[in-house]
Structure 1
Amino acid sequence: MSYQTLQQPVSARLEIKKSAFIAYAYSVTSREQAMFHVEQLHAQYADARHWCWAYIVGDPNNTTSAGFDDDGEPNGTAGRPILNVLQHKSIGNIIIIVVRYFGGIKLGAGGLTRAYAGSAQAAVDQMILCPYVPMTQVNIQAEFATEAQCRYIVERLKGTIDNVAYDKQVLLTVTIAERDIELLKTELAMAGKVLSAEE
């Protein structure tokens, strides 16, 4: 499961026959996140004519979750061309939303398809892509004396510490790359006195 994803949000703007096409791209890991960005842009550009979008959650070469919307443009002229750009470029966990201000000149079906695909491509051209790394959350139960060493191991493996609870022992909730789980368990065991690292 190797594919590229967006490192940070980007935007691009095209003007075609007096219509403005403003494309935004965001990293997402669920349909709910994707729809949140659509709603935000709908509110930000309340006076626009259309808010067309396409998203892919997961591997673009083996899509488990994808969707698109023409938002009132002729069927197949907006959302599908945006999705096609994402699939062609093999970018996953992403949404591109194109906000359109109508300029008074009709573009026709072919013109609209080119405009939306071109807007998506303009956003892709702005992107810094990075390999997608599946992450998972684990709990590490440790003695107080080994907490600092546990933190060091997690940070060295580029994990993040999400929560720490203190009771008779220390419970660290951490997020780490799935591929590093076994390495984490091995290093924690070598640190000694670590009771468990449970997924």
Structure 2
Amino acid sequence: MLTSYELPRDGEIYTYEWEIKRSRFITWITRVQDEEQARDFIALAREEFPDARHHCSAYVFNVDGTNPVERSSDDGEPSGTAGKPMLDALKGSGLMDAAVVVIRYFGGIKLGAGGLVHAYSNSVVDALPVVKRVRRSLKDLVTVDLPHGEAGRIEADLRNLGIDVVGVDYGENATYTLAHDPGQREKLEAQLASVTQGQASAQDAGHAWVETQAS
């Protein structure tokens, strides 16, 4: 079971284009986290480039408690020359929760099986550097109640210590939800005691996936 991985930053389609022997290859990469999102993304590429010869695709996404889902399509190219090389390139990058579509406008010169594998694989490999990544990690959560007058300062101090502040609810007090790596509860408790002069304590709040900037 995965507990941490990198994925594309949400809400963007990353693009790359190149040409080989007069065939134009346009690569689209985005975040997807289920089959429906992946199918919608492929359908969008078909709508945007309806006159292209091929819309080859590959995607992989995490499923908690089981193996990742992997799919690919050659979309009319010879079997094994497009979708699988694209999927292999995507997996080799370390990205998860990602889909790629390579749109091909045929230039009139056949590339052959080896040429197609090279073209589709490189269409993904060369596009990957433009993808902005974030890291998704499974973390333990705690909540802590802070007085409204001190909450802003304490939050700033916690963030400066590298603690992930993932939520806040305002009621009688400001209730902050903090995330920490498994096994780091004592360290968080010590940091919390330091910035609150021992006036606040953390309560267990389960665990959740938390996104942070990729290193």
Match of 2:212 in 1: none
Quote how far apart the aligned CAs of 1:54 are: 1.8
How many residues are matched? 194
2:172 paired with 1:168 = yes
Q: Is the 8 A contact 1:141 1:169 kept in 2?
A: no
Q: Is the 8 A contact 1:55 1:93 kept in 2?
A: yes
Which residue, out of 103, 109, 115, partners 2:107?
A: 103
The 1:135–1:102 alpha-carbon spacing in structure 2 relative to 1, beyond 3 Å, is: same
Q: Distance in 2 between matches of 1:154 and 1:23?
A: 41
Q: Is the 8 A contact 2:57 2:72 kept in 1?
A: yes
The 1:45–1:158 alpha-carbon spacing in structure 2 relative to 1, beyond 3 Å, is: farther
Match of 2:50 in 1: 46
TM-score normalised to structure 1 length: 0.72
Please give the root-mean-square deviation of Cα atoms over the aligned residues, in Å: 3.6
2:188 paired with 1:188 = no
Quote how far apart the aligned CAs of 1:149 are: 4.7
* 1:98-177 mapped onto 2 (5 Å cutoff): 98-124=102-128, 126-127=129-130, 132-136=135-139, 138=141, 140-145=143-148, 146-156=150-160, 157=162, 159-162=164-167, 164-173=168-177, 176=179
More helix per residue: 1 or 2?
Answer: 1
Q: CA offsets, 1:141-197, max 9 Å, x none?
A: 4132453355225523263544x33233333346x4645862444433553234525
Opposite residue 17 of structure 1, the aligned amino acid is K
Q: Is the 8 A contact 1:133 1:177 kept in 2?
A: no
The 1:69–1:177 alpha-carbon spacing in structure 2 relative to 1, beyond 3 Å, is: farther
Quote how far apart the aligned CAs of 1:122 are: 1.9
Opposite residue 77 of structure 2, the aligned amino acid is E
Quote how far apart the aligned CAs of 1:9 are: 5.7
Percent identity between matched residues is: 28
Q: Distance in 2 between matches of 1:178 and 1:69?
A: 38
The 1:104–1:27 alpha-carbon spacing in structure 2 relative to 1, beyond 3 Å, is: same
The 1:127–1:170 alpha-carbon spacing in structure 2 relative to 1, beyond 3 Å, is: same
